[in-house]
Amino acid sequence: MREVLRTGSLLLDAAMGTALLARGLAGRAPAWNLSHASAVQEVHAAHVGAGAEVVLTNTFVGASPEEAAAAIRLARSSGATYVGGSLWAGVGDLETQIAQLADADSIWLEAATSARMALAAVESAVGATRLPVVITCAMPSAPLDELRAAGAAAAGYACSPWPADARGADVVKPAADGLSPEEWARKVPWARLRGGCCGTDERYLAALRATAR
């Protein structure tokens, strides 16, 4: 997967957390990998149905070993071409969390809220796994070249705020921010790897897929 992350184009998935909240989630999302597995599976399946080639595991906030194993199984069962292990870049026990996701195809360090957090996460991840590492930042501007130099196979932006200038980003997966799927898809800057974050669902992916890649 490293090569496609470095040079290819892929449609990513849409939001998991907000999709589970809409289905009644209260508490930690990864607990649902065990207690409400069919709901998690349904969200992955809807994304793949809309064309997502990568799905990310429901482990963003950090998971127990059992929750992480279930997350990988659920993501694989979607039939997506690739499974990424998702972790917030600021999660406390990052190396343990990465080890639990060793059966994914890549590790996605998501929504870093500072350059320092992003760099620290990439450095510790590339030291902890042989899987390719992707980093996304929830900031208007991130040190993308520095993150790639630190070992990230792809670097870019996720969630909110949207990037001020997405040139040079490998990944862009913004939040819905109250936009309709069509409005959103028109606004999403071009990048090789594109998908959605909070508030987006399969309708947003379908709209994005319909725009030029």
- The nearer residue to Zn ion, 79 or 161, going by C-beta atoms, is 161
CB of 174 to Zn ion, least distance (A): 8
Regarding 126 and contact with Zn ion (CB under 5 A), the answer is: no
DSSP secondary structure, 8-68, as one string: --EE----SHHHHHHTT--S-GGGHHHHSHHHHHHHHHHHHHTT-SEEE-S-TT---HHHH
Q: How far is the CB of 197 from Zn ion (least distance, A)?
A: 3
Listed ranges 98-106, 122-130, 178-186, 192-200: which one lies at the site for Zn ion (CB under 5 A): 192-200
Map tokens 């709209």 to a residue. 207
Q: Report cis status (omega within 30 of 0) of the bond before 65.
A: no
Nearest approach in angstroms of CB 7 to Zn ion is 26
Q: Which CB sits closer to Zn ion, 4 or 43?
A: 43
Vertex 3: Cα angle to 164 and 194 (nearest 5)? 35
- What whole-number distance in Å separates Cα of residue 26 and Cα of residue 38? 16
The correct pick among 43, 159, 172, 185 for binding Zn ion (CB under 5 A) is 159
- Pick the stretch among 20-28, 69-77, 94-102, 152-160 that binds Zn ion (CB under 5 A): 152-160
197 contributes a contact to Zn ion by CB under 5 A? yes
Q: What are the residues facing 136 on neighbouring strands?
A: 156
CB of 38 to Zn ion, least distance (A): 23
Contact with Zn ion (CB under 5 A): which of 198, 205, 207, 208?
198
Q: Is 68 among the residues that bind Zn ion (CB under 5 A)?
A: no
Write down the least CB distance from residue 111 to Zn ion, Å.
6
Q: What is the CA radius of gyration of the chain?
A: 15
Residues that bind Zn ion (CB under 5 A): 159, 175, 197-198
